[in-house]
A and B are shown apart, each in its own frame.
Chain A
Amino acid sequence: MHDKSAHAARHRVPPTGFIRKYIFSTDHKVIGEQYYGLALAAVFIGMVLSWIMRIHLAWPAAAIPGMQLLSKNGAPGGVLTPEYYLQLMTMHGTIMVFFVLTTAPLAGFGNYFLPIQVGAEDMPFPRLNMLSFWVTFGAFLVAIAAFFVPQGPPLSGWTAYAPLSALGEVAGPGQGTGQVLWAVSIAIFCVGQLLGTLNFISATLDMRCQGMGLMRLPLTVWAWFITACISLTAFAVLMPACILLVLDHVAGTSFFVPSNLVVNDQLQPHAGGSTLLWQHLFWFFGHPEVYIAIVPAMGIVSHVLITNMRRPLLSHKAIIYSMVAIAFLSYMVYGHHMFVSGMNPYSSIAFSLPTLAITIPSTIMVLIWIGSLYGSKLRINTASLFALGFISMFVSGGITGFFLAQPSLDIMLHATYFVVGHFHLVMAVAALFGIFAGTYFWFPKVTGRMMNETLGKVHFWFTFVGAYCIFMPFHYLGMAGNVRRYQAFVDDFMAPLMPVHKFITIAALITGAAQLIFLYNLIHSRFWGELAPQNPWEGTSLEWSIPSPPPFDNFAGKLPVVYHDPYQYDIEGATNDYVMQDSPASINSVRGEK
């Protein structure tokens, strides 16, 4: 075997030029920041899109200032046309799901902290890593380009159900070039994620420093590793599906288009395909994607909570096994998106039961988090507040899964705002809370400066209360039968629900605006924040054992040696109440973990 001195003697030279250092950098930390920056740009675009949609829903005739600049046809005089509403909705979903919820928690934080936390100087394949980001960035540009083609972006939603998405221009504005760009963008995105995944899995297994056994990995690393295992195959299925969709457009094939369709009194030249096939392939990716977004957040939240509770979780292993169980189940349940979409009704039952079974690992995790709070010495700061907020959101959003997992209830709730409320809470808001918790927690390490706590807490309160004000009422709307993906609710039973929509819109505007506090805090603290010590939160994992910000190859040419499990808090006799993972001090107190 190679000893650590041999391993550390590699002396990688840090790049000097601006381009090699900050643009085409192979340094995992720069790539992590690039991913985070991409997600930040994307989340603000996605948020503005949601603002526009919310304003339009609450006041359908209102002119939104500046909209006509974005699209002259789509928003004449600033008032959205029905098709432009759907086009913005499609792009909101696409940008948020792919370029925010997939990139930030996994690729952003994971790239930055996974190598550090396992005690490595970089990812095993730095060039692939760089390529992964730039491929993803290219996918983002292609997706954004859809805004600027003549007919605008596609209007078929982020799920792109065929044959609406496969028929081309005849099916609606944006279904031609815009839809092709969408499919191409997603196919490219899949390639980028695959490259990232290779690094994540091999780094976790192979790059661990001496002493870093698998069970000594922090929960964040476990979460990223498990997520990478999910995305390894999920994206590999979506990519060919998108390619087949592109072929239906440009090569005249009919994979997803059945025979004898008549659009605008014209018989379509396609024949023989199946629209359900697209749904199967899409959701085979689509459901694991939900866990790709949420599992990293679970890891980050556990990590942040433990550090701030000053004690390890009741069970380290229960959390890991629960995440593994969720990863397994994520593949077996995808059909619950298709209960009423014409899938074989017997399949519905087969998909319903594993979906309900996901309750079990999810409940285990929530109970472990809550049970660990008992008797802890919880420190309240912005990061821990967001972590607590995550638990609350995850419970609220997860519980509505009881309903949607049952085909018979799905008859009433499918395609209503209930679904919108459910997945926004459990996937979007909860994952975002994980991202926020991670940002406030790790910002000092990344930049060497502290974020402003007061602004952070203001941001938290607006976001926490705001998110509930926005997404809880969605459930009530859905129970009353309010259908989603409608650009206006005219002369029907949904009209009386308009006050709720107006309330949601106002809440969304305020909550969205509060994110500017976060943005200001992020930028201001980056340059003028208080200088951060090496270990401001008194954490134990390896990222706190190196200077803030970390040097080029993380451990300055000498890889650490790990002597302890990740979360050695509440240690008697330690100078503080904790012992770092790489501290050679021995621990005599015996604490059992079941």
Chain B
Amino acid sequence: MVLTNRQDDRGAPYGGNPGKYLLVYFGILVLAGLQFAIAYQQVNVTAALFRMFALAILEAGLMVVFFMRLGAENRPFVTWIAIVTLLVLTIMQSSWPDSYRMERDAPPNDRSPGYRTGPSQ
């Protein structure tokens, strides 16, 4: 038993040519393929991460806007969801400065080769 508000879905009507979906699909596949290519570029981890992450955001954007049809939802909803999600995901990044210190400020004996390899052998 669900008491919905019986709202009509006022999003853009369905129907018409499914070609848009195919286009998005190929777009995502291409972006994903690029991710794999970047993995084998000779760049450092940070650069690779940023490139792949940017592609992932693009893919996610395509997914959200077209497959999940966020683009067809009304403006207040899009605004609300964007603010809430981005706020949380952004603020979550504030732990990074401490991540960099993990290595820099580790006790000297932890920095020897083979350190943090698990249970002491």
Residues of A with Cβ closer than 8 Å to B? 1-2, 7, 10, 12, 26, 120-127, 206-207, 229, 232-233, 237, 258-260, 267, 269, 271-272, 274, 276-277, 280-281, 284, 328, 331-332, 334-335, 342-344, 346-347, 350-351
* Chain A residues closer than 8 Å to B12, beta-carbon distance: none
Distance A229 CA – B119 CA, assembled complex (angstroms): 43
Known A344-B101, A346-B97; contact A271-B2, beta-carbon cutoff 8 A: no
| B118 lies within 8 A of A229 (CB) | no
A120, B6: Cα distance in complex, Å: 13
Q: A331-B87, A344-B97 are in contact. Are A7 and B6 (CB under 8 A)?
A: yes
Query: Of the candidates B3, B4, B102, which one forms a contact with A121 in the assembled complex, judged by CB atoms under 8 Å apart?
Result: B3
Is B7 an interface position by the 8 A CB rule? Answer: yes
Chain A contacts for B92, CB-based, 8 A:
237, 284
Asked if residues A347 and B97 are in contact (CB atoms below 8 Å), the reply is yes
Q: Is the CB of A271 within 8 A of B118?
A: yes
Contact status A259-B2, CB under 8 Å: no
Closest residue on chain A to residue B92 by CB atoms: A284
Docked CA distance A342–B3 (Å): 50
**Known: A126-B1, A347-B97. Is A2-B6 also a contact (CB below 8 A)?**
yes
Q: Considering the complex, give the chain A residue whose CB is closest to the CB of B80.
A: A229
Known: A206-B4, A206-B5, A207-B5. A350 touches B94 (CB 8 A): yes
Contact A267 B120 (CB under 8 A): yes
Judged by a CB distance under 8 angstroms, whether B14 is at the interface is no
Chain B 48-81, CB-CB to A under 8 Å as 1, else 0, gives 0000000000000000000000000000000000
Q: Cα distance A121–B116 when bound, in Å? A: 58
A342–B98 Cα distance when bound, in Å, is 9
Chain A nearest CB, measured from B51 CB (Å): 26
A374, chain B: closest CB distance, angstroms: 36
List the 6 shortest-distance A-B pairs measured between CB atoms, nearest first: A206-B5, A280-B95, A344-B97, A272-B116, A269-B119, A233-B88
CA distance A233 to B86 in the complex (A): 11
- A58-B104 Cα distance, complex, nearest whole Å: 45
* Residue contact B4 to A259, C-beta cutoff 8 Å: no
Q: Does A276 contact B95, Cβ atoms closer than 8 Å?
A: yes
B84 within 8 A of A: yes
Pair B94/A26 contact, Cβ less than 8 Å: no
Nearest A residue to B5, CB-CB: A206
Asked if B115 lies at the interface with its beta carbon under 8 angstroms from chain A, I say yes
Residues on B facing A (Cβ under 8 Å): 1-8, 84, 87-88, 91-92, 94-95, 97-99, 101-102, 106-107, 109-110, 115-120
On whether the beta carbons of B107 and A277 are closer than 8 Å, the reply is no
Q: Determine if B117 and A124 form an interchain contact, defined as CB atoms under 8 angstroms apart.
A: no
- Tell me the smallest distance from the CB of A342 to a CB of chain B, in Å: 8
What residues on A are CB-neighbors of B107 within 8 Å?
A: 260
Contact call B120/A274, Cβ cutoff below 8 A? no
Provide the bound-state CA to CA distance between A277 and B118, in Å.
Answer: 19
Beyond A260-B109, A276-B98, whether A233 also contacts B84 by CB under 8 A is yes
In the bound complex, residues from chain B placing their C-beta under 8 Å from that of A26 are 1
Enumerate chain B residues within 8 angstroms of A332, measured Cβ to Cβ.
91
**Minimum CB–CB distance for B85 against chain A, Å:** 8
Q: Are B6 and A271 in contact (CB under 8 A)?
A: no
**B119 contacts across to A, CB distance below 8 A:** 269, 271
Smallest Cβ distance from B121 to chain A, in angstroms? 11
A207 pairs with B3, CB closer than 8 A: yes
Cα A258 to Cα B6 in complex, Å, equals: 53
A-chain residues with CB within 8 Å of residue B94 when the two chains form the complex = 280, 335, 347, 350-351
Known: A259-B115, A269-B119. A122 touches B95 (CB 8 A): no
**Across the two chains, which residue of chain A brings its CB closest to B102?**
A274
Tell me if A328 and B95 are in contact (CB < 8 A). no
Q: How far, in angstroms, from A276 to B2 measured CA to CA in the complex?
A: 43
- Given known contacts A127-B2, A269-B119, A344-B101, what 14 new A-B pairs fall within 8 Å (CB)? A7-B6, A124-B4, A126-B2, A232-B84, A233-B88, A237-B88, A258-B110, A260-B107, A271-B118, A276-B95, A334-B91, A344-B97, A346-B97, A351-B94
Q: Are A124 and B99 in contact (CB under 8 A)?
A: no
B102 CB → nearest A CB, Å: 5
Distance A126 CA – B3 CA, assembled complex (angstroms) = 8
Report the Cα distance A126→B88, complex, angstroms.
Answer: 28
Q: Hey, which chain B residues are within 8 Å of A284, CB to CB?
A: 91-92
Question: For A328, what are the chain B residues with a Cβ–Cβ distance below 8 Å?
Answer: 87
Q: Contacts of A237 on B, CB cut-off 8 Å? A: 88, 92
CA distance A281 to B7 in the complex (A): 38
The residues of A that contact B88 with a CB separation of less than 8 Å are 233, 237, 331
Minimum CB–CB distance from B14 to chain A (whole Å) comes to: 20
CB-nearest residue of chain B to A229: B84
Contact yes or no, B7 A206, CB < 8 A: yes
| Complex Cα–Cα for A207 and B99 (A) | 45
Q: How far is the CA of A570 from the CA of B5 in the complex (A)?
A: 34
Tell me the complex Cα distance, A281–B52, Å: 25
Complex Cα distance, B112 from A409, in Å, reads 38
Nearest-CB residue, chain B, relative to A338 = B98
Residue of A12, A124, A233 near B5 (CB, 8 A) is: A124
Chain B residue, CB-CB nearest to A276: B98
Minimum CB distance partner of A331 in chain B: B91
Which residues of B are found within 8 Å of A350, using beta-carbon distances?
A: 94
Cα–Cα, bound, A127→B1 (Å):
7
Assembled-state Cα–Cα distance A29/B3 (Å): 16
Assembled-state Cα–Cα distance A83/B111 (Å): 35
CB–CB B6/A124 < 8 A: no
Q: Are B110 and A260 in contact, with the CB atoms below 8 A?
A: yes
Q: Chain B contacts of A127 at CB under 8 A? A: 1-2
Contact A122-B98, Cβ < 8 Å, known A269-B119, A328-B87, A332-B91: no
CA distance A127 to B3 in the complex (A): 10
Query: When chains A and B are docked, how far (Å) is the Cα of A335 from the Cα of B93?
Result: 12
CB closest residue in chain A, given B119: A269
| Chain B residue at minimal CB-CB distance from A6 | B6
Given the complex, which residues of A lie within 8 Å of B101, measured CB to CB?
Answer: 344
Q: Return chain B residues, CB-CB under 8 Å to A122.
A: 3
Chain A residues in 8 Å Cβ range of B7: 206
User: For the complex, what is the distance from the CA of A12 to the CA of B119, rounded to whole Å?
Assistant: 61
Given the complex, which residues of B lie within 8 Å of A124, measured CB to CB? 2-5
Bound complex: CA A232 to CA B88 (Å): 10
Closest-by-CB residue of A relative to B107 is A260
Complex Cα spacing A570 to B97, Å: 55
Interchain residue pairs with CB less than 8 A apart (9): A1-B8, A123-B3, A207-B5, A233-B88, A237-B92, A271-B117, A271-B119, A335-B94, A343-B97
